[in-house]
Amino acid sequence: MSYPSVRLRRLRRTAALRALIRETRLDPSALVLPLFVKEGIEEPEAVGTLPGVLRHTPATVVDAAKEAVSVGIRAAILFGIPRHKDAVGSQASATDGITQIATRALKDAFGDELVVATDLCLDEYTDHGHCGLVSGNGTIDNDATLRRYQEIAVSQAAAGADVVAPSGMMDGQVQAIRQALDDAGFENVAIMAYSAKFASCLYGPFREAAECAPRFGDRKSYQMDPANRAEALRECVLDVEEGADIVMVKPAGPYLDVIADVAAALEVPVAAYQVSGEYASLVFAAEQGCFDLDAAVLESLTSIFRAGARIVLTYFAVRAARTLG
């Protein structure tokens, strides 16, 4: 007896058929590799909660990028860790700051072959570990912070950054940065805004890697409440209106609904950050025999792209690219 209904299983019969009709395709060129670079070290340092991730020297960060480029990755984002930290994060905008040094090294080595993005924030550079300047009453001074972001953006662009990525979630940050870049003659430097950055517990390993845990309080007064979905879209819309070229949702995996909302509503590219806690969760679970790590990595990345992301920042970038072959 035959049934008139469509036989969807016909197209699942072989690997070749499944590949032929696949809706979401992974490509290494859509992945961005986060790279930590630290001032004052002679050799790379391991990060205990991020197995396989290193704090690099300016020399070894180029080697790490070479490995990434060799497997088809075309973009990296830099997180600098200075030797000296102070209340205003002065090293964030220094001409000889660690991020600026690393940016010049990468651009000298790769030119336009590698998109170099720079995290634009203060938490790695301040002695208090917050993303903005702290006022006398212990709150974050939004407008004073914007002025620092403008200085940092121009310094990073002058060092050769192709993309600056403001991650502090200050109100008006994209507009302020766009104005500063344009006024300084860097109209072609793009802004990838951390537009919907949630106050997540999944940032713990990153804060160890970047040595930037807050010394007091938390970041809930400027990062988003994980319970808010509609607010995330409003944040993204505002950033596009202010001049963002790319908007980002962070974290990625637990916020696929937000990624889908933003991708459906906006025409600009949507990025998603598979954050340190997502990475560590998969690595440690695989070490306990819960599943095959490579299969889990590709499945997790597929879900993020399927939700609507066109760019994914992930510590698995090189591993995923090698697995994809």
Convert the pLDDT of each residue in 275-317 to its tens digit: 999 999 999 999 999 999 999 999 999 999 999 999 999 999 9
pLDDT score, position 217:
75
Kind and range of the H or E element at 37?
A: strand 31-38
Q: Which of 218, 36, 35 is nearest to 129 (CA)?
A: 218
Going from N- to C-terminal start, the domains of the chain cover: 25-324
**Which tens digit of pLDDT belongs to each residue from 105-151?**
999 999 999 999 999 999 999 989 898 899 988 899 999 999 999 99
Q: Is 218 exposed, middle or buried (0-12, 13-18, 19+ CB in 10 A)?
A: exposed
Instruction: In whole angstroms, give the CA distance from residue 132 to residue 87.
Output: 9
Catalytic annotation on 250? yes
Contact of 223 with 171, CB cutoff 8 Å: no
- What pLDDT band is residue 6 in, cutting at 50, 70 and 90? low
Q: How distant, in Å, are the alpha carbons of 25, 51, 61 from that of 119?
A: 27, 22, 15
3-state secondary structure of 86: strand
Over the chain, what is the mean pLDDT? 95
Q: Tell me which CATH homologous superfamily contains domain 25-324.
A: Aldolase class I (3.20.20.70)
Which among 66, 85, 107, 197 is annotated as catalytic?
A: 197
Please say if 38 is a catalytic residue: no
Q: Residue 228's pLDDT is what? A: 98
| Both structure tokens of 265 | 């509503």
pLDDT of residue 281: 98
What integer pLDDT is reported at residue 5 of this predicted model? 63
Q: What is the pLDDT of residue 223?
A: 92
Of 9-13, 201-205, 235-239, where does the model show the most confidence?
235-239
Of the candidates 38, 66, 220, 250, the residue annotated as catalytic is: 250
Q: What angle do CA 250, 253, 254 make, to 5 degrees?
A: 85
When pLDDT is averaged across residues 63-79 and rounded to a whole number, the result is 98
Using pLDDT thresholds of 50, 70 and 90, give the confidence band for residue 219. confident
Return d(Cα 179, Cα 186) in angstroms, integer.
Answer: 10
Specify the amino acid at residue 164.
Answer: V
Strands 45-46, 54-56: parallel, antiparallel or unpaired by DSSP?
A: antiparallel
Structure tokens at 71: 């497997």
218 pLDDT band, cuts 50/70/90, is confident
Pairing state between β 54-56 and 75-81:
unpaired
pLDDT of residue 1 exceeding 70, the answer is no
Distance CA 174, CA 164 (A): 10
Read off the pLDDT of each residue in 209-232 and give the average, rounded to a whole number: 89
Compute φ and ψ for 289, nearest 5 degrees: 85, 15
Structure token pair of residue 149:
């972001």
Q: What are the residue ranges of helices labelled H in 184-272?
A: 204-209, 230-242, 256-265
